[in-house]
Structure 1
Amino acid sequence: MNGLEPLAAATWPEVDRSPRRVLLLPLGSTEQHGPHLPLSTDTVIATRLAQWAHARRPEVGLAPVMPYGASGEHAHFPGTLSIGTEALATVLIEFVRHAAGSWRHVLVVNGHGGNADALRRAVEVSRYEGRSLHVHHAASAGPRADPHAGDRETSLMLHLDPDRVRMDRAVPGQTAPIAELMPRISTDGIRAVSPTGVLGEPTGADAEEGRRVFAEMGGRLLATIARLLAPD
């Protein structure tokens, strides 16, 4: 399909003949992920997770990824591109308004925690307007789940896109509890608490751990899709 997601490669009659119950929308960001991970990390994870689920549930639609999000806390690092919470919420609301004419449910597969406020706002407005927007956050918990560009994300990228991981540049980051860091991050950004942009410890990351984490994430997404596809 020349690199296009299934929806982008389809014609309108093909979409019309499809089940049109659930449309997956991967949502990422373009932001710094330390000196060792690409700016596309959140986008890669969200996209690959949605593609993985679509391959197993082909009756769901798969829209092209949205690669920009709310990343203002990373603005002090070159390369970060953010559209902010208000703009992201507006884009999502408009997206759902149009998608609702073709699909019963829109399911956002979110790869960036900073998008959460915009997603909450979009869900509130969409439901008020009688439209069905759901959110699945890709992030997983666990003993190795650190906040940003640490062990979990680095392991995932070693599994998903190893050629773009610069492990020789990985350095330990800020490891204080995120709850302690948030007041400073909220006012001064990530760079005020971590000059490298890393929150966590990426140097022990490995692809096998990434494979395990990705499988767990995929299982949770399939469960969410199954709930939306279940008969009323």
Structure 2
Amino acid sequence: MNSAYHRRVVFPRELGNSTSRQLQHESPTLVVPVGSTEQHGPHLPLDTDTRIASAVADALVTRLRAGGGPDWLIAPAIGYGASGEHEGFAGTVSIGTPVLAELLTEFARSACRWAPRVVFVNGHGGNVEALRRAVTLLRHEGRDAVWCPCTSSNADAHAGHTETSVLLHISPAAVRQDERVPGNRAPLSELMPEMLRGGVAAVSSLGILGDPTTATADEGRRIFAEMVDACAVRVIRWAPDRGGMLT
């Protein structure tokens, strides 16, 4: 009884703050936030997607650990992604789909030597193809790796109402309130052909697709809760599709 109680007390929550000895006899599920470093208009920080993925992953782990069952461990975020469509703006650092896919693959191959399951929590739409490639290969190799998107209903495309609201909730000091201005509010389907030719800069000189002026912290709280709820349902179910995405 004492040893079981001691194990529960010392089992770490964060990979970065753990020691090898703490994990030596454990079998945690590793939760890995995946984001990007890319422009988000004049009002949001470059690491917006990473902040959102990290916050969702953190809230997810908190909920899953409170529910008991397997041990859950959160990894430091992977903060660079496939962001080529934003390279027309200073500050963007994109490693591209092939490199990101290889990074995710090698990450999970190594982590799965001691963690029986790995779930990537993705905060950037441009990472989807890399996640599909990596996780499909990992699962073909027999590793129980999956991925989960940070999604909400009726979200706009980039640096608009949705992301600005979430940042006002999870990281309000990072939002430059006096720089919030509307961007291109046309449907993404209409913008995509020109974006494929010239990136986001071809359709929005500000880098905004949506309207951040309507964002509020209360709305961000609702959207964030929706993201966490959706991820929790997917992770508990653990039913990946053919591309390794939890459904």
Could you tell me how far apart the structure 1 residues matched to 2:217 and 2:26 are?
A: 36
Q: Deviations over 1:172-215 (max 9, x none)?
A: 11111111111211121100000000000110100000001111
Could you tell me how far apart the structure 2 residues matched to 1:154 and 1:18 are?
A: 39
Q: Match for 1:9: what amino acid?
A: N
2:224 matched to which residue of 1?
214
Structure 2: tracts of 5 or more residues without a match: 1-11, 66-70, 240-247
Q: Match for 1:87: what amino acid?
A: V
Quick check: 1:82 aligned with 2:89?
no
2:22 matched to which residue of 1?
14
**Equivalences, count:** 223
Could you tell me how far apart the structure 2 residues matched to 1:51 and 1:124 are?
A: 25
Q: Deviations over 1:112-163 (max 9, x none)?
A: 0000110111122112211122111102122xx1000000100000000000
- Among 116, 121, 124, the alignment partner of 1:109 is 121
2:68 matched to which residue of 1?
none
1:161 matched to which residue of 2?
171
Quick check: 1:56 aligned with 2:66?
no
RMSD after superposition: 1.5
The answer (yes or no) to whether the contact 2:13–2:72 under 8 Å persists in 1 is no
1:133 matched to which residue of 2?
145
Normalised to the residue count of structure 1, the TM-score between the two structures is 0.92
2:108 matched to which residue of 1?
96
Q: What SS is found at the alignment partner of 1:203? A: helix
Which protein shows a greater Rg? 2
The answer (yes or no) to whether the contact 1:173–1:200 under 8 Å persists in 2 is yes
- Among 27, 33, 43, the alignment partner of 2:40 is 33
The answer (yes or no) to whether the contact 2:44–2:175 under 8 Å persists in 1 is yes
The answer (yes or no) to whether the contact 1:5–1:63 under 8 Å persists in 2 is no
Percentage of identical aligned residues = 48
